[in-house]
């Protein structure tokens, strides 16, 4: 029987600071447990990066203490995008990389996520080993074996050069005017330089973090100000990253949002045009039917995984694919790196714009998206929605009304106490009405 994970969710450990396990004492113990599980003797080292949340200082110190107590050396990056931590974990031959971040969540949340020595998410069996170690008493190694802390001063420069290397050296962005929104997050000191060094004219937003403003009215989750800035500055396009830099949303010159589904198609079509990619593309249960149909036109197949980059990666490995992603903008280019990377994904799109001579608007117009309505139903505790007969009947009624022209998806969030209700169909007013109807029913059932 598979053991249930107690602490780890779909993307590490996450929650409100001071609640549950998102506390300094737990994180210290977590650092020790990780060190004990992953350490391999005298040369054990772990990379630690963080986003710009105020609580990052506290958790960085706690992790450092725990790892040192386990006899592991610590290499501190400071604020650094999640994918940069994955990259630097590989290049420094560390046993693991740790990111202190709650991604797109507000500042009062934080979390811890991990990368293996290969720059990939930790496998389930390792997470279970760490959880088992957390149940053991913390024992500090002899003082002669305590881990030492080091700071990597050139981490940003290393990552910038890596990002630039993911597109052909002949690609010049000097004729592009970009607005880049860093969400007051971990990319604030690297993303603008990446695009500038490739020749683009760059206007920067969301690059003044104060510990509290991460993702606040900015970034990939709230791109309205970016849309406005693109239009006001007559820019060619806008780039919106999230707080830890692993998600990407773009805005075309008309101020229209280009989401992860459309960006995934653009990159997939670019790879196909160049003859260097698999025709098996991975999306999720939330991926729009329009993406699936657009890929089919070019003899590419969409394989749907459960929502979450962990599951996208698993499906990519199953089908032998190189490209996968989510509508939220988490795009994995396995031919370039080992995890979702907003800057790298943006560069692939910019390279296709330059090489094809088409605008972002023209490239995304190939995908005709179905109207999709998403409503979050907040719950006090997670329940098994599949086992509830009232909810099942409500879903069946909506599916019957949509017929073959749409679909319904209910999904508990892996990071928040909400159930996501998604209805997709050709008719926008009907889709909206049915989603509201279903969400209301579910809310009533769960409160009753």
pLDDT tens profile 29-40: 999 999 999 876
Q: Residue 381 pLDDT more than 90?
A: no
Residues 340 and 280 reside in one and the same domain? yes
Choose the final residue of a domain: 93, 124, 153. Answer: 153
Choose the final residue of a domain: 314, 340, 364. Answer: 364
Task: Please state, in angstroms and rounded to a whole number, the distance separating the CA atoms of residues 243 and 12.
Answer: 16
Residues 30 and 60 reside in one and the same domain? yes
Residue 296 belongs to a domain with what CATH number?
A: 3.40.120.10
- Written as one string, the DSSP assignment of 348-362 is HHHHHHHHH---HHH
How confident is the model at residue 390, as a pLDDT? 86
Query: Residues 6 or more apart from 351 whose CB is under 8 A from it?
Result: 167, 168, 171, 270
Residues 392 and 317 reside in one and the same domain? no
Choose the final residue of a domain: 364, 395, 416. Answer: 364
Check residues 370 and 380 and name the one with the higher pLDDT: 370
Confidence of residue 444 (pLDDT cuts 50, 70, 90): confident
Q: Is 103 a catalytic residue?
A: yes
Residues 384 and 359 reside in one and the same domain? no
Pair of tokens at residue 390 = 């009232």
How confident is the model at residue 353, as a pLDDT? 98
Residue 440 belongs to a domain with what CATH number?
A: 3.30.310.50
How confident is the model at residue 414, as a pLDDT? 66
Range with the lowest mean pLDDT among 33-47, 144-158, 208-222, 329-343?
33-47
Check residues 378 and 214 and name the one with the higher pLDDT: 214
**Does the residue 123 lie in any domain?**
yes
Helix (H) or strand (E) run with residue 397 in it: helix 389-402
Mean pLDDT, residues 151-166: 97
- The whole-model pTM stands at 0.90
**Does the residue 7 lie in any domain?**
no
Residues 163 and 202 reside in one and the same domain? yes
Structural domain harbouring 113: 13-153
Residues 380 and 425 reside in one and the same domain? yes
Q: Which of 103, 116, 287, 328 is catalytic?
A: 103
Q: Residue 262 pLDDT more than 70?
A: yes
How confident is the model at residue 1, as a pLDDT? 40
**Number of domains making up the chain:** 3
* Average pLDDT for the chain: 93
Residues 28 and 169 reside in one and the same domain? no
User: What backbone phi and psi angles, to 5 degrees, belong to 194?
Assistant: -55, -50
How confident is the model at residue 447, as a pLDDT? 75
Residues 221 and 129 reside in one and the same domain? no
Q: Residue 434 pLDDT more than 60?
A: yes
Mean pLDDT, residues 119-128: 90
């Amino acid at each position: 029987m598979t053991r249930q994970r107690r602490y780890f969710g779909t993307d590490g450990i996450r929650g409100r600071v001071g609640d549950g396990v998102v506390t300094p004492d737990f994180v210290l113990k977590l650092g020790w447990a990780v060190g004990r599980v992953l350490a391999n003797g005298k040369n054990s080292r772990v990379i630690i990066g963080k986003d710009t949340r105020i609580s990052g200082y506290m958790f960085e110190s706690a992790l450092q203490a725990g790892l040192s107590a386990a006899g592991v050396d610590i290499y501190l990056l400071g604020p650094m995008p999640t994918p940069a931590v994955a990259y630097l974990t590989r290049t420094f031959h560390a046993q693991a990389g740790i990111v202190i971040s709650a991604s797109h969540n507000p500042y009062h949340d934080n979390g811890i996520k991990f990368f293996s020595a290969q720059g990939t998410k930790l496998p389930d069996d390792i997470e279970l080993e760490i959880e088992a170690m957390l149940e053991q008493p913390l024992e500090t190694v002899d003082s002669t074996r305590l881990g030492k802390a080091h700071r990597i001063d050139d981490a940003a420069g290393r990552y910038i050069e890596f990002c630039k290397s993911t597109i052909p050296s002949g690609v010049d962005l000097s004729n592009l005017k970009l607005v880049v929104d860093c969400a007051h997050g971990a990319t604030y000191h690297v993303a603008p330089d990446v695009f500038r060094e490739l020749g683009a004219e760059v206007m920067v937003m969301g690059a003044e973090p104060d510990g509290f403003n991460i993702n606040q009215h900015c970034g990939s989750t709230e791109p309205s100000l970016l849309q406005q800035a693109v239009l006001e500055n007559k820019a060619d396009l806008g780039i919106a990253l999230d707080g830890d830099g692993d998600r990407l949303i773009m805005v075309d010159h008309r101020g229209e949002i280009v989401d992860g589904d459309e960006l995934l198609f653009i990159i997939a079509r670019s790879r196909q045009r160049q003859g260097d990619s698999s025709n098996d593309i991975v999306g999720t249960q939330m991926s729009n039917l329009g993406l699936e149909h657009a890929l089919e036109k070019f003899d590419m197949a969409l394989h749907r995984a459960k929502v979450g980059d962990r599951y996208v990666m698993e499906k990519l490995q199953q089908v032998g694919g190189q490209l996968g992603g989510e509508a939220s903008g988490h795009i994995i280019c396995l031919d370039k790196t080992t995890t979702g990377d907003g800057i790298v994904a943006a560069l692939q799109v910019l390279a296709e714009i330059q090489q094809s001579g088409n605008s972002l608007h023209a490239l995304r117009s190939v995908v005709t998206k179905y109207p999709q309505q998403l409503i979050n139903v907040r719950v006090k505790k997670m329940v098994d929605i599949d086992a509830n007969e009232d909810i099942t009947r409500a879903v069946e009624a909506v599916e019957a009304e949509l017929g073959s022209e749409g679909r319904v998806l209910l999904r508990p969030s892996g990071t928040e106490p909400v159930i996501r209700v998604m209805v997709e169909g050709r008719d926008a007013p009907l889709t909206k009405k049915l989603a509201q109807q279903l969400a209301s029913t579910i809310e009533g059932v769960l409160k009753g």
